[in-house]
Structure 1
Amino acid sequence: MKKKTKILISILAVMTAALTAGSFWAGNYLVDYALYRADQAPQSANDGKAPVNETYGNEEANKAEEQRLTDLWLDTVVLEKKEIVSEDGLTLRALQYTADPASHRYALVIHGYTSNKEAMQTEARHFSELGYTVITPDNRAHGESDGLYIGMGWLDRKDLLLWIDQVVNQDPDAEIVLYGVSMGGATVMMTAGEVLPSNVKAIIEDCGYTSVYEMFKNQLDYRFGLPEFPFLATADIMTGIRAGYHFKEASAVKQLEKATVPMMFIHGSNDTYVPTKMVYQVYEACPTEKELLVIEGAAHAASADVDPQLYWDSIAAFLGRFLA
């Protein structure tokens, strides 16, 4: 009997070890798939990460017209390359678009997951037309910026504080607006919970998520049909080891509870990538003056394409309340 018990215990121990090793392998794979910079990871690890949006109404025609206007605008502004060094020693790069050198208004425009600063040129144009000098950074592990691991907004919030400091050091009279889409939206929401200089007057987020944990939980089910346990738990451990942060601490909701500046929240009603329900959670968490805009029929990061007139008119009206 004792011999059988020992054999059973040995079998269970081997099975437990195998399951543990397998879950950690899967967790490590998920880090490679989701967080290792796209231009360094194996191709198979990054296929299909970007959402595929269904078009709605005149979306494609709107995008084409916006791009035409942006191409014309680019000939009217001065482009300047900018750099900062992050707290962990990464060189981060940005482009600055200046139409009026005398302006004290600045918009920091933050791109989304696996995107880059050039992808934000249309957004930069709209802020420029409102009188802002626009800075579009490449987030860490994106574009021309250094870094191997995507910060999902949490590491990026500290980087954004440094971009803000650079603007204020160069122009103490600066009036700054933060704007971000998708992961950029999460970045500016997470930044809202930090101690900000009085120069920051308003923050606008478009389709950002409530937390990195909830975002990955949703994607684990949506993309792989996998449960959050044990895969998300082991991925979180490996992210802590490799990238230096944990999913649950990276919470836009918790950061927004500490917000001190006016906030605008935008989301598409048909967003399944970052579910539309998340915008109501972040909106409710914010204690400051705030506005909510849900664009009917828009999928993820497509609100400005579905109804550019409503989108940008609403932003202009919101900013008009808080900037002289």
Structure 2
Amino acid sequence: MKKIKFIGIMILIYLILGIIATGYLTGDGVFKETMQIVTNKETSIANSPIYLMKKGFDLEAFKSEYTIETIHINSTLDGHMIPADYITANGDKNSDTIVLVHGLWGNRLTVYPMAKMFLEKGYNVIAYDQRSSGDNTALYTTFGYWESHDLGDYVAYLNTLVDEDKSIGIWGTSFGGATVGIYLGSKSANDSVNFAILDCPVSNMRYLISREMEKMNMDLPVNFMMAMGNLVTKAKLGFSYDDTDVNEYIRKTNVPVLIINTKADQITPYFMGEDIYHSISHTNKKIFTVDDSEHANIFYEYNDLYEHNVMTFIKDFE
């Protein structure tokens, strides 16, 4: 009888250990798929000219027309180096300035077309590499959570260079929109930023991850994979999926915000921009929506309308 009881206990222990092992391995797999999405090789600066050429952008003409200084500052969060291009018309940095935040699979050069739009209107531009992108060798991509600190570092850097009467704006697209949205809830943003533009922004990391899990058609339930991934992320990086909810941060902002989105977006669905817009508690906000453009492609497909809405917004709230 004692032997049967002992065997039963051992089986139970093995079952528990098996469940724990399965849970950890599942969570670690989800973690790697979600927190290490891109690499420096995949987002290499060297690949950017091909991307820009496909967009009809003349990189060499841009380089000859503007002064581009590559700079580096250290992250105040973890010390890694954040590379950026500081772009001016004549080298004078004491001017109204826009910080551009690229999306996933991009780098600081992929936002040069947007930089040109702002430069033509008299603004300087800082375009920097987000984590694991371009020349930024920080390991993890955290859906804007840690990235928002890097954006804050560049805003703080700008504050040391421009006079108080100069405007500081921030623009982010897709994944970069999440970076901007989370940063907007900070004291730094509320004290220093004059306006913000979010183009097809990510609002909810949990939704995007669950949708990717569903596409994988694995034998494990999506809810189980999400729960395990969340636990491993919390254990390894110290934050949970819910900590990246842009809507919760942007409620705290007093910065004027323009949301740009499209009803045809299959990557960051239309409702994400709507949710962010409605989460902003003040009235200094606008939303510009098109019906049929693909994700983060409104600038290229509706260029004149895009520029009109952006510049009108800035004029109204700068």
TM-score in terms of structure 1 length: 0.85
Q: Work out whether residues 210 and 251 of structure 1, in 8 Å CA contact, stay in contact via their aligned partners in 2.
A: yes
Residue in structure 2 matched with residue 319 of structure 1 by the alignment: 314
Map 1:91-130; keep pairs closer than 5 Å.
91-100=81-90, 101=92, 104-130=95-121
Whether 1:176 aligns to 2:168 is yes
2:39 and 2:179 map into 1 onto residues whose CA distance is: 21
Residue in structure 1 matched with residue 64 of structure 2 by the alignment: 75
In structure 2, relative to structure 1, the CA distance for the partners of 1:72 and 1:200 (3 Å cut) is: same
Q: Work out whether residues 204 and 272 of structure 2, in 8 Å CA contact, stay in contact via their aligned partners in 1.
A: no
Choose from 181, 189, 192 the match for 1:189.
Answer: 181
2:53 and 2:285 map into 1 onto residues whose CA distance is: 28
Q: Work out whether residues 104 and 171 of structure 1, in 8 Å CA contact, stay in contact via their aligned partners in 2.
A: yes
Q: Work out whether residues 37 and 142 of structure 1, in 8 Å CA contact, stay in contact via their aligned partners in 2.
A: no
Map 1:1-324; keep pairs closer than 5 Å.
7=7, 10-36=10-36, 38-39=38-39, 66-68=56-58, 71-86=60-75, 87-100=77-90, 101=92, 104-173=95-164, 174-195=166-187, 196=189, 198-224=191-217, 227-288=221-282, 289-323=284-318
1:203 and 1:266 map into 2 onto residues whose CA distance is: 11
Q: Work out whether residues 113 and 152 of structure 1, in 8 Å CA contact, stay in contact via their aligned partners in 2.
A: no
1:142 and 1:244 map into 2 onto residues whose CA distance is: 22
Query: Deviations for 1:93-112, whole angstroms, at most 9, x for unmatched residues?
Result: 10111014276210000011
1:127 and 1:145 map into 2 onto residues whose CA distance is: 24
Deviating more after overlay: 27-36 vs 79-88: 27-36
1:302 and 1:23 map into 2 onto residues whose CA distance is: 39
Q: Work out whether residues 209 and 274 of structure 1, in 8 Å CA contact, stay in contact via their aligned partners in 2.
A: yes
Instruction: Give unpaired runs (5+ residues) of structure 1.
Output: 47-61
2:102 and 2:256 map into 1 onto residues whose CA distance is: 21
In structure 2, relative to structure 1, the CA distance for the partners of 1:309 and 1:64 (3 Å cut) is: farther
2:280 and 2:258 map into 1 onto residues whose CA distance is: 10
Deviation for aligned residue 1:20: 2.7
1:183 and 1:36 map into 2 onto residues whose CA distance is: 14
Q: Work out whether residues 26 and 225 of structure 2, in 8 Å CA contact, stay in contact via their aligned partners in 1.
A: yes
Deviation for aligned residue 1:26: 1.9
In structure 2, relative to structure 1, the CA distance for the partners of 1:125 and 1:20 (3 Å cut) is: same
Query: Deviations for 1:158-209, whole angstroms, at most 9, x for unmatched residues?
Result: 1111100111101133311110001100111111100126441101101212
1:166 and 1:213 map into 2 onto residues whose CA distance is: 32
Residue in structure 2 matched with residue 56 of structure 1 by the alignment: none
Amino acid at match of 2:72: E
Q: Work out whether residues 206 and 241 of structure 2, in 8 Å CA contact, stay in contact via their aligned partners in 1.
A: yes
Deviation for aligned residue 1:224: 4.3
1:222 and 1:321 map into 2 onto residues whose CA distance is: 43
Instruction: Give unpaired runs (5+ residues) of structure 2.
Output: 44-51
1:78 and 1:139 map into 2 onto residues whose CA distance is: 22
Deviation for aligned residue 1:260: 0.6
1:183 and 1:65 map into 2 onto residues whose CA distance is: 20
In structure 2, relative to structure 1, the CA distance for the partners of 1:197 and 1:277 (3 Å cut) is: closer
SS at structure 2 position matched to 1:298: coil
1:83 and 1:277 map into 2 onto residues whose CA distance is: 36
Between the two proteins, the alignment pairs up a number of residues equal to 304
Deviating more after overlay: 182-191 vs 198-207: 198-207
RMSD, aligned CA: 2.6
Q: Report % sequence identity.
A: 22
